[in-house]
Amino acid sequence: MSLLSTKHLLGIKDISSQDIDLIFKTADNFKQVINRPIKKVPTLRDVTIANVFFENSTRTKISFELAEKRLSADVVNFSSSSSSVKKGETLIDTVNNILAMKVDMVVMRHPAPGAHQFLARHIDANIVNAGDGTHEHPTQALLDAYSLREKLTNLKDKKIAIVGDILHSRVALSNIYCLQKLGAKVRVCGPPTLLPKHIESLGIEASYNLKETLEWCDAANMLRIQLERQEDKYFPSLREYSLQYGVTMDVLNKLSKKIILMHPGPINRGVEITSEVADSNQSIILNQVENGVAIRMAILYLLAGSSSEE
Ligand code: CP
């Protein structure tokens, strides 16, 4: 079996384009599996996986749990809001207690950027980053790129825009790394206050002009305004933001070509995109969600294989 170059999936920055190709090829096989009447394979029958979530999640948590169950792994779920973290237990103590119960892999979401790198220095189990604060969300970027590749055949020289709250977004950074490794041209677009200073130093373009950016791109990934991470006011009002940076059918119909619309979820309907756009045939939002299960099955399978070869 071919292996990933890494024991953990901490971020897209740390993996190679060969790793991404291998994840995509493996996901192609698992996508066939989950579309069969019997959606389950015995591949991870002796593996126990803990989903450790210190932040809220709908899609990522359910998608990982389904991926694990489709692979026949044993699954335990931990949510910090109903745990002894509330009594002051540290991250390492929490995870070590879970591992003492013979857990092989940890899928973790944590609000602190770098929490997974810290944990990887202290525990032996494979770690998968399900989102670390404003830093990275690698499985989201992989499922986004995989979904785009299905529509555009390959991403070499394709123009992909990432629009919205780039400053607070882990999806943006992981997407930038992933799309660049696959040869795409990337542009971020949003109000000046929501684009990090010097973002062009990552080798991408930055624009404040939505309509010109949509005309430039083959696909636009529309990000949510993350009010929960914003201590200051970055724009006058959501209405003002929506007027300048929201995508409506009217905006799309004025473009010279049909572009693909993506969104990692959760959507604020009527803010970054209207319901009409989210539910239109240009949107691949539900394809992204479907592909998330196959991508996560591939990652868990490949990481489990890396451990057994050690
Ligand atoms: N896209 C994403 O990470 O969604 P959740 O926060 O619901 O997991």
Residue 71 has pLDDT above 90, yes or no: yes
pLDDT for the residue 53 = 95
Summary mean pLDDT of the chain: 94
CA neighbor of 98 nearest in space, from 52, 60, 46: 52
Segment 163-214, tens digit of pLDDT: 999 999 999 999 999 999 999 999 999 999 999 999 999 999 999 999 999 9
Question: Which residue, by CA, sits nearest to atom 5 of ligand 1?
Answer: 57
Phi, psi at residue 223, to the nearest 5°? -95, 155
Q: State residue 82's pLDDT score.
A: 76
pLDDT top residue among 175 and 2: 175
Q: Are residues 71 and 199 in the same domain?
A: no
Q: Residue 235's pLDDT is what?
A: 84
Q: Are residues 161 and 20 in the same domain?
A: no
Per-residue pLDDT at 79 exceeds 80: yes
> Does ligand 1 lie within 6 Å of residue 140's CB atom?
yes
pLDDT for the residue 251: 97
Same domain, 85 and 142: no
C-beta of 289 in contact with ligand 1 (< 6 A)? no
Residue nearest to atom 4 of ligand 1 (CA): 59
- Reduce the secondary structure of 91-105 to three states and give it as a string: HHHHHHHHHHCCCCE
Tokens of 38: 């019997």
Lowest mean pLDDT among 98-112, 240-254, 295-309: 295-309
| Residue 80: how many other CB atoms lie within 10 Å | 19
Taking residue 60's Cβ as centre, other Cβ atoms within 10 Å add up to 24
* Ligand 1 nearest atom to the CA of residue 131, by list position: 3
Q: Which residues neighbour 217 within 8 Å (Cβ) at sequence distance 6 or greater?
A: 159, 160, 161, 187, 259
**Which residue range(s) make up the domain with 254?**
138-288
Q: Which residues contact 103 (CB under 8 A, 6 or more apart)?
A: 48, 49, 50, 76, 125
> How far, in Å, is the centroid of ligand 1 from the Cα of 111?
13
264 lines ligand 1 (CB under 6 A): yes
- Same-domain status, 212 and 93: no
pLDDT for residue 2:
64
CA 207 / ligand 1 centre spacing (Å) = 26
Q: What is the pLDDT of residue 149?
A: 98
- Judge whether 115 lies within some domain: yes
The share of the chain scoring above pLDDT 90, in percent, equals 84
Same domain, 65 and 111: yes
Using one digit for the tens of pLDDT, what is the confidence trace for 120-169?
Answer: 999 889 999 999 999 999 999 999 999 999 999 999 999 999 999 999 99
Same domain, 124 and 261: no
Decide if pLDDT at 308 tops 70. no
Count of C-beta atoms within a 10 Å radius of residue 240: 11
CB distance 78 to 101 below 8 Å: no
Pocket perturbation via mutation, ligand 1, pick of 54, 60, 171 by most ligand atoms within 8 A of CB:
60
* Ligand 1 midpoint to CA 57 (Å): 5
* Residue 58 CB–ligand 1 contact under 6 Å: yes
Q: Domain holding 274: CATH number?
A: 3.40.50.1370
For residue 264, which atom of ligand 1 is closest to its CA? 1
Nearest CA to ligand 1 atom 3: 60
Judge if 188 and 174 occupy the same domain.
yes
Question: Which pLDDT value is given to residue 210?
Answer: 98
Burial of 188 (0-12, 13-18, 19+ CB in 10 A): buried
The whole-number pLDDT of residue 295 equals: 98
The Cα-based distances of 200 to 152, 189, 204, 206 in angstroms read: 25, 12, 5, 6
Number of domains comprising the chain: 2
- Looking at the chain, list the stretches that DSSP marks H as alpha helix, in order from N- to C-terminal side: 17-34, 59-70, 91-100, 115-120, 138-152, 170-181, 210-216, 238-245, 249-253, 275-278, 285-308
